[in-house]
Each structure stands twice: as structure tokens, then as C-alpha cells.
Amino acid sequence: MTHNQPRSEVNYKWIALSNTTLAMLLGFVNMSSVLLALPVIFRGIGIDPLAPGSSNYLLWLLMGYTLVSAVFVVAAGRLGDMFGRTRMYNLGFAIFTVGSFLCAIPWSTGPAAALELILFRVVQGIGGAFLFSNSAAILTDAFPENERGMALGLNQVAGIAGSFLGILVGGLLSQIGWRWVFLFNVPIGIIGTIWAHRTLREVGTRKSEPVDWLGNITFAAGLTMVLVGIIYGINPTPTSPMSWTTPFVLGMIAGGVALLITFVFIEKHVQAPMFRLNLFRIRAFAAGNVAGFLASLARGGLMLMLTIWLQGIWLPLHGYDFEVTPLWAGIYMIPSSLGILIAGPLSGRLSDRFGARYFATVAMILTAVSFALMLALPVNFAYHMFALVILLDGISMGMFIAPNMAAIMNSLPPRHRGVGSGMRLTLMNVGNPLSMVIIFSLMVLGLNASMPAALYSGLVQNGIPAQVAQQIASAPPVSYLFAAFLGYNPLLTLIPPNVLNALPAEQAATITSRAFFPQLIDASFHHGLVEVLIFSIVICLIAAGASWVRGGKYIYHEEDEQQG
């Protein structure tokens, strides 16, 4: 306890850290547990996720929560600045808990049940937006300047731990019943809501201003349209492996961009803007957000590719059935989480003393190095080499996340911490789906270059009729990538049962074996992976440059208001 802090203030800051850390843990457990449980969820509601037309349900259940959070975090943070960060945070806990309960009780089956789940995931996403945008502001209010990096680092590490715990939670609870994946959140959410209501208090600066309705509407509509457009861009069409040139995708992206341009014009002219564009005049805030966005852009989709690498190729080649690969992929990715758990709190604590510049810059360079090392790995790697590379990647990201976040929050005027936190989260949340779409598209282009010929040749050599083999070989790469990601043997989902049953037992067993598909996709996947990794390396180096130009240690002072 410092000399100028009363005991009540010291106790309060740890209460604030404990409660907001529970919220981060719960939110990230929810993300990864649903990811792992998707096959069980789809079976429970009576939908084949790989059937024609089901890919939209799959995409929305995968991305809907993140999309909604990205759209609402700025508004949630702005409302926190106006009406109280604790009040809006408590509201978020309650909304998230109600959404979790609703997700567990869809009363329909088939497509109707999928739509209900998507809608209730949206409710969860709105609650998550209120939690995530206001938790960082609450911690920044509660902790002194020389302890914020440590506090925000621990908070972020809880999210990483939640991602790992969610894998185990989703894997175990989905074996009991898919509804338990959502019901698990409810008692914890109730406890967290009551605890927050009884113990958290308003210690930040509040300013009552009119709500920027026009800005809120144009921003929400524009960002939603852009994100929906880019998400649907990876959907295959009857004539193309992706949908980038379809009128719907082009119209959504163009319309969304037009609305976002209108939004910027509105924000420059309204009395109390939702999105405080003048905050970007603070160099530490602008550079930190650019670096954070680029880090998400480099990493978000690559983590999905690494998961598919494990599930679709490496684990089956090492004796694991496709059905169990989602759980084991999460377990084999533990070194990455350990790296973040080790480096996050330590770098956050050190950045309180020395500033974020060197930590964040070196971290992004190390991330680029870890991706370059991945280029040297064969597709069927020795696990200890893969573990060391992803451990380095985890350490580098732990070095980056906490210092960068603390530097952004320290640079904000006290009365704008909620909206500033929301702006930070929006850029990160937009970076993740954009990364997934770009990296997925690069992988599809890489697979399309050689996979159809390899698949056709392998099937024909093992007795599949040439016409059927041609149809399977021309299937969009999304179909077998999603199959592997969901824990299905891709060839069992692509080959008609009557064709498979007509083959001699030995040939049928070869085609459906664990090793057959991974051996076919090996070279093509590596070709796509090279393009993906080169993209991520370039983005990481640009992020390192953005981190460097933020300047030295920076703490916002009131006189900066007049300067900006």
C-alpha cells in the first residue's frame, strides 16, 4: 500500500481486478467452448453443418458473437462515460447471463433452432461488449498509474487462460449435452452480476451529454455491413470457391464503407460524438491502436490455420481419429497459452516502470520471427519443434498485449476512458475477423492451385469412378477445411455413401483412413501456409514500426486537453 492510498482504496482496486478478471475469464471461456462444441450443438438441433446451405449457420455461430461485440463496444464504452462505467458493466454482466440462459433453451429444431441460437448469441455479444469496454476503464480508474500495466496484464491473461479452459469445458460439457455448454455460464454470471452490483462503485469521471443517435446508427449499420460482407466473401458459390465478386458481397461492403464515411462526417460535426476522433491526436493512443489492430490482423486468422493444420493433417497422421482432433488440437496448442501466461503479467509490470515502447516493438519483431520459424517446419513436423515455436509466439504476444493496452489506457483523458477502451476493442475486434477472411482466402487460393489434381489422382487410383472423383476434386476448399475443423473426416463428408459402399473393403478402408486425406493435402496446404505466413510476417513488422513511433513512456495530463 502506497503512502497516499487509503486502505479502502487499496482493497477496492483488488476487488475491481477480481471481478473484471472473472468477466474476462467467462467471456473467453464462452468463445472457445462453443467453438469446440459446434459439432455436438449442430447434432443436438438436428442440422448437418456440412450440408449445402448450412455454412451460413456455421459462419454466424462462429463469428456472430465477435461481430456484435465489435459493433457495440464503442457505444457501450461511451454510455459508460456518460452514465457510469460500473453501471454499464453490471448491465453487461446481466445481459450476458440472460443470453447464456436463452442459448441453452431453444425450443425448435433444424434451421429455426439455428436462427434462435444465433439471435441469443447476439444477446451474449451485446452483454460482452458492455463488459469488455468498461472493464478496462474500471481498472484504469481504480489503479494508480504505476500499477495499471500489471492490472491490465493480469486481466488480459485471464482471457487467455479462459481460451484454454474453454477448450476443456466445451469438450467435457458437450459430452453431457450441448445445452450445458451455455448453462455453465449462468451460475457464474449470476454470482458475478450480484458481486459487481454490491462491491463496485463509480470512481471515474462522468459527463452527462446527449446521445449521438445518428452516429450510433450509421456506425453500427456500416460496420455490420462491412463485416457481414467480408465474412460471406469466403462462402463458396456454385461456380467459384469464394464469393468476393457476388453482388451481395460487393453491395454489403460498398454500402458499409459509404455509411462509415458518412459516420466520420457526422462525428466531426455533432456536439457530443460517439467516436472521439480527436483522441487520435494523442500519438500514444493512435500508435497503440494501430499496433493493436495490426497485431490482430496478423494473428487472428493464423491461429485458425494452425488449428486446421493440427486437426486436418498432423493429428490424424499421428493416430488420432478426426472426431477427437478438436480437443487435442487445443491441448497441443497449450505452449502458446503458457507463453502468454508467463510474459503477460511480467511485461505489464515492467512496462509500468519503463513504458511500452520497447516491449511492444520487440514483441512484434519476435512474433514475426516465430512466424518465420514456422515457415521452416515441414507439415508433418516433430512436435517439440512446433511447441518451441508457438511458445515463442505466445511469449511475444504476452510481451505485447499488456504493455500496449496499458499505454493506450494511460494516454486517455479520464472522462473518455470508456469510449477510448471501446475504440481500442473495436479496432482489435475488426482486425480478428478481417484477419480470418484474408488468411482464409490466401489459404483457399493456395489449395486451389494444386489440391484438385492431387485429390482427383488419389481417389481414382483407389477405385473412385473418374466422374465422381472429378466432382469431389472440384469441391470448394472451404468444405473440407470446415469438415476438418469440426472434427469430421473430410472424405467421408464428400464421397457419396453408395459410391464408398461399392468399393472393395480394402480400398474403402484406405480412403477413409486417418492418413489418406492428410497425405493428399500435405503439399497443397504447405503452399497456402507459406503465403499466409509471409502476409503475417509483413503485418507484424509494420506493427513493430507503429509501436516504435508511439514515443517513450506517456501518461495523460489535463493540460494535454488544451494542446489537442
If one compares 543 and 416, the residue with the highest pLDDT of the two is: 543
DSSP assignments along 356-387, one per residue: SHHHHHHHHHHHHHHHHHHHHS-SS--HHHHH
All 3 cell numbers of residue 538? 509483413
Does the pLDDT at position 357 exceed 60? yes
Cβ atoms of residues 240 and 217 within 8 Å: no
What's the rounded mean pLDDT across residues 40-44? 83
78/135 Cα distance (integer angstroms): 13
- Please enumerate, as own/partner, the contacts of 236-244 that have beta carbons within 8 Å and a separation of 24 or more: 236/55, 236/476, 236/478, 236/479, 240/476, 241/444, 241/448, 241/476, 241/477, 241/478, 242/441, 242/444, 242/476, 242/478, 244/441
What's the rounded mean pLDDT across residues 359-379? 94
CA distances from residue 4 to 8, 148, 190 in whole angstroms, order as listed: 12, 16, 35
Three-class SS of residue 550? coil
- Say what percent of the chain tops pLDDT 90: 26
Q: Which helix (H) or strand (E) holds 172?
A: helix 148-176
Residue 416 per-residue DSSP state: G
pLDDT for 241: 79
pLDDT for 562: 42
pLDDT for 102: 94
Does the pLDDT at position 228 exceed 70? yes
pLDDT for 558: 46
If one compares 253 and 28, the residue with the highest pLDDT of the two is: 253
pLDDT for 3: 47
If one compares 194 and 444, the residue with the highest pLDDT of the two is: 194
Q: Ramachandran region of residue 179, left (φ > 0), alpha (ψ -120 to 50) or beta?
A: alpha
If one compares 189 and 329, the residue with the highest pLDDT of the two is: 189
Does the pLDDT at position 205 exceed 70? no
Express each pLDDT in 245-261 by its tens digit: 899 999 999 999 999 99
53/195 Cα distance (integer angstroms): 43
Express each pLDDT in 491-531 by its tens digit: 888 888 888 888 888 888 889 898 899 988 888 888 889 99
Express each pLDDT in 141-178 by its tens digit: 888 877 887 888 788 778 777 777 777 777 778 778 88
Express each pLDDT in 387-433 by its tens digit: 999 999 999 988 998 888 888 888 888 877 777 888 888 888 788 88
pLDDT for 554: 58
pLDDT for 557: 47
464/458 Cα distance (integer angstroms): 9
pLDDT for 2: 46
Report which residue type is found at 155. N
If one compares 202 and 368, the residue with the highest pLDDT of the two is: 368
If one compares 312 and 8, the residue with the highest pLDDT of the two is: 312
Label residue 559 by pLDDT band (50, 70, 90).
Answer: very low
If one compares 25 and 212, the residue with the highest pLDDT of the two is: 25
pLDDT for 383: 95
pLDDT for 207: 65
Three-class SS of residue 487? coil
What's the rounded mean pLDDT across residues 83-94? 91
Task: Give me the phi and psi of 281, to 5 degrees please.
Answer: -75, -20
CA distances from residue 289 to 57, 68, 267 in whole angstroms, order as listed: 32, 20, 19
Label residue 204 by pLDDT band (50, 70, 90).
Answer: low
Average pLDDT over all residues of the chain:
85
If one compares 114 and 33, the residue with the highest pLDDT of the two is: 114
